[in-house]
Amino acid sequence: MTTPRPLVAGNWKMHGRYSSSEEVNALVQMLRERPAQCDVLICPPFTLLMPFSNLIEGYGLSLGGQDCHHQSEGAHTGDISADMLKDAACSYVIVGHSERRKWHRESDKRVSEKAAMAHKEGLCAIICVGESGKQRDSGETLDVIAGQLKKSMPDDSVAHNTVVAYEPIWAIGTGRTPSVEEIGEVHGLIRKHLTGRFGLDGQSFRILYGGSVKPENAAELMSINNVDGALVGGASLKAADFNGIIEAYR
Ligand code: PGA
């Protein structure tokens, strides 16, 4: 069993232009000056993967996609394959983000297929799970998360090819976060699921918390038991903010 090295991942969603290279250069500079005790990942829109790959090479910063198709290639207009991400210098891909589940109607089964394709192409899949506000209010959180984990994680998942991200939907982009106890409870359940299903290797999976992580709350959130890093949306777009979150691991 190895203690997971934390991961701080930035999900840029549908934000960023070529001019955002400035932010990446600034982040590289900050990481060079003050290296962090965590892995750092940015997941920009597909159009920026190639240009960013030239900026980050050799600086301990990784690149990831925000989604991939569950098949390797074919007539799928507008989609992108795991192999193409790999070709664009990615080592990670986010799958099953709640925005994909909601707006693209992605099921747990589809998320699992995407993760399996990512694994096949040698990418690490960041599999997202999370309850809605309604589910939280009606006391269903733990059941919802357990169900999503069971169905969204393919059987070939191991600690080095899979990261789980717990992102309560009601905390995404709202400035609200669950309490330390609530996050600890869900991350504890996720760890239990992982060790129950994958044995000792389950201890080594990284479990990220996501949803309104900011420089102001990062240190507290990252110190919770079984929280091995963060998946950051809005606060990952500016190098100074993202660096402020990475600060939790310096
Ligand atoms: P947020 O988004 O940090 O803007 O709340 C997190 C996410 O959706 O990954």
Give per-residue pLDDT as tens, 180-192.
999 999 999 999 9
Whether pTM > 0.95 for this model: the answer is: yes
Query: 33 falls in which pLDDT band (50, 70, 90)?
Result: very high
Bridge-based pairing state of the strands 7-11 and 39-43: parallel
How does the average pLDDT of the chain come out, rounded?
A: 97
Q: So what's the pLDDT on residue 182?
A: 98
pLDDT over 80 at 102, yes or no: yes
Ligand 1 atom nearest residue 172's Cα? 5
Which helix (H) or strand (E) segment holds residue 92: the answer is strand 92-95
pLDDT over 80 at 148, yes or no: yes
Which residue puts its alpha carbon closest to atom 1 of ligand 1? Answer: 233
Q: Cα 133 from chain centroid?
A: 20
Residues with CB under 6 A from ligand 1: 11, 167, 172-173, 210-213, 231-235
Write out the two tokens for 138: 């009606």
Q: So what's the pLDDT on residue 1?
A: 54
Q: What angle do CA 100, 185, 119 make, to 5 degrees?
A: 40
* Ligand 1 mean position, distance from CA 200 (Å): 30
Rounded to whole angstroms, the Cα distance separating 64 from 85 reads 8
Give per-residue pLDDT as tens, 233-246.
999 999 999 999 99
Give per-residue pLDDT as tens, 170-223.
999 999 999 999 999 999 999 999 999 999 999 999 999 999 999 999 999 999
* Ligand 1 mean position, distance from CA 160 (Å): 23
Q: Tell me the percentage of the chain whose pLDDT exceeds 90.
A: 97
Annotated catalytic residue within 131, 167, 187, 193:
167
Residue spans of the domains in the chain: they are: 7-249
Q: Residue 79: which of 117, 41, 53 has the closest Cα?
A: 117
Fold of the domain built from segment(s) 7-249: TIM Barrel (3.20.20)
Q: So what's the pLDDT on residue 60?
A: 78
DSSP E strand stretches across 17-85:
39-43, 61-65
Q: So what's the pLDDT on residue 58?
A: 75
Annotated catalytic residue within 23, 69, 70, 97:
97
The whole-number average pLDDT for the span 15-25 is 97
Query: 3 falls in which pLDDT band (50, 70, 90)?
Result: confident
Rounded to whole angstroms, the Cα distance separating 132 from 169 reads 5
Give per-residue pLDDT as tens, 43-76.
999 999 999 999 997 777 999 999 999 999 999 9
